[in-house]
Structure 1
Amino acid sequence: MINIDLHSHSNQSDGLLAPAEVAARARENGVDMWALSDHDALSGLVQAAESASRLGMRFIPGVEVSVTFCGATVHVLGLNIDASHPDLVRGLAAVRRSRFARAREIADRLRECGLGECYEGALALAHNPDLVSRAHFARYLHEQGRARSIQHAFDRYLGEGRPAYAPVRWASMGEAVGWILAAGGKAVIAHPGRYRYTPLQFDALFEQFKALGGCGIEVVSGAHTPRQYEEYARVAMHYGFEGSRGSDFHGPSRGRADLGTLPALPERLTPVWRDWI
């Protein structure tokens, strides 16, 4: 089996490792085809491509675009993209501006919770200053002893409905898919099992995504349980989607899966990478 992992993050968004370090870990774990897909950012792709080439891995340039759908956030992977395409570059720049405004609002709300000034501390943990995220605030709170763990920081302060949660309007589904297609890539819904939609909302999500030109969903994901692998294989078959496989790696001991360690994509599915082998 060719070991393929099409979802991972570096310190150019909310991951812990530099792009070259993520590449090295992927190769060490036996990955043959690898995608770096940082949140709303393309800045790590050159280093990632150079490192993958030196290590003998096929590199797939990617990005994970934040989208608002039915009042909640959905992540759409753009895979095998032209990272220099102006539509994609401009669109992601706009999304990052929304991220910056959200980070400032989170800092204000944490201050109101009596936790002092947290923005500079979170910023120091973000290698890309345009992408200070809730994860960086959570790490900072944990390091300062204000939270028992990163998860506790989300549960107490940063999760949806918690006192420091700040909503943001991301790109629309049409915008995100349009940018990805304009850049020659494939649009794939990341880890659908994470979204808390009703069956009717899920149907609207998948139908609209397909109508806009989206071609696949993540079936085997580090964010899914083994039971969900089968569930989303059935979803892919029902809607005619290609299937994807990705660990959603953010760093050692972060998340459920390491790079390249997930089970194979079910054989009855058409893999999103079928034309890249």
Structure 2
Amino acid sequence: MYTIDLHTHSTMSDGTLTPRELAFYAKAKGLFAIALTDHDTTAGIAECIKAGNMVGLKVIPGIEISCKYHKIEIHLLGYYIDIENQTLQDVIAKILNERKARNVKMIERLTELGYPITMKDLNPNNDENMSITRGNVAGVLLEKGYFANREEVFEKCLRVGQPGYVEREFIDYKEAIAAIMAAGGVAVIAHPYFYKLKDVTMDQFILDLKNAGLAGIETIYPEHSKEKEREYLELCEKYGLFLTGGTDYHGDNKPNLDIGNGFGKTSVPKLYLDVMEKTVHFIKK
């Protein structure tokens, strides 16, 4: 059976493999296709597609956009996007500018806490299109020997409520979905299990996103139980959405989680990609 991975990250956000290395590695692991879905940037897609073509790996142009649903941070995956689309790139520029301002504040706060780092540490090549996340910050803190492991970095410093955490400003989920659709793509809610919904049910949450243009739910994910997978499958059937799946691969930044199989039990069939492609074809007709 052909398998795929529709949720991966490269060094253009907080992964540890370059887009080129990611494509080569996915092929070596026997995958039929991957989607590169870096956080709030499309900068690595062209390189990944070129490398994929070299080795016979299908690479779907994607993105993972951080946004807000009411006051809750959520992540939306966009697939088959036109990376040259101006509406999408304007939204990306808006998000990256906010990230840059936040990172300056985070560097200042970490320095005050006794963990000095610099922007050069976070972005050695001064790449304006790189999306720097807390994952990147955690990596630098580890390299400098301030903490023993990534879990300790977040538990003691970077998690919400910890002294090194800096609040973010997010775009609204409707704006994120609209940007994905403007770029000819389809929007999918990433890892719904993560969101701590307080005032609405998961059903209402999905319905609200569906009304804004949501096309699918990331159903297969390393931290989704079989019960959760069934719940999301039923919501897909109820609201006419397609299923997707992926590992959220970050290379060494997520130890023991591998591309294509997560912690050893995740497997996304090519059928999911076939259905998504039919949806994209129908939308673009």
State the TM-score, normalizing by the size of structure 2. Answer: 0.88
- Calculate percent identity across the aligned residue pairs: 30
Moved more, 121-130 or 162-171: 121-130
Q: Is the 8 A contact 1:126 1:132 kept in 2?
A: no
What are the superposed Cα offsets for residues 34-71 of structure 1, whole Å, 9 maximum, x if unpaired? 21111111111111111111111222110111111232
Residue of structure 2 in register with 1:272 after alignment: 276
What secondary structure does 2:94 align onto? helix
Structure 2 residue identity aligned to 1:211? N
Structure 1 residue identity aligned to 2:267? P
- Structure 1 residue 174: Cα displacement: 1.1
Distance 2:226 2:234 in 1: 13
- Structure 1 residue 74: Cα displacement: 0.8
Residue of structure 2 in register with 1:164 after alignment: 164
Residue of structure 2 in register with 1:263 after alignment: 267
Distance 1:112 1:65 in 2: 30
Matches within 5 A, 1:1-277: 1-124=1-124, 130-198=130-198, 200=200, 202-252=202-252, 254=254, 257-261=257-261, 262-264=266-268, 271-274=275-278
Q: Is the 8 A contact 2:60 2:80 kept in 1?
A: yes
What are the superposed Cα offsets for residues 184-230 of structure 1, whole Å, 9 maximum, x if unpaired? 11100111111122371534431221001111010002343444333
Q: Is the 8 A contact 1:221 1:245 kept in 2?
A: yes
Superposed CA RMSD in Å reads 2.6
Distance 1:116 1:259 in 2: 33
| Alpha-carbon distance change, 229 to 127 in structure 1, aligned in 2, over 3 angstroms | farther
State the TM-score, normalizing by the size of structure 1. Answer: 0.90
Q: Is the 8 A contact 2:91 2:179 kept in 1?
A: yes
What secondary structure does 1:51 align onto? helix
Structure 2 residue identity aligned to 1:153? V
| Alpha-carbon distance change, 253 to 94 in structure 1, aligned in 2, over 3 angstroms | closer
Segments of structure 2 that go 5 or more residues without pairing to the other structure are none
What secondary structure does 1:124 align onto? coil
What secondary structure does 1:181 align onto? helix
Higher RCO, 1 or 2 (CA under 8 Å, sep at least 6)? Answer: 2
Alignment: residue pair count: 277
- Structure 1 residue 267: Cα displacement: 8.4
Structure 1 residue identity aligned to 2:29? N
Segments of structure 1 that go 5 or more residues without pairing to the other structure are none
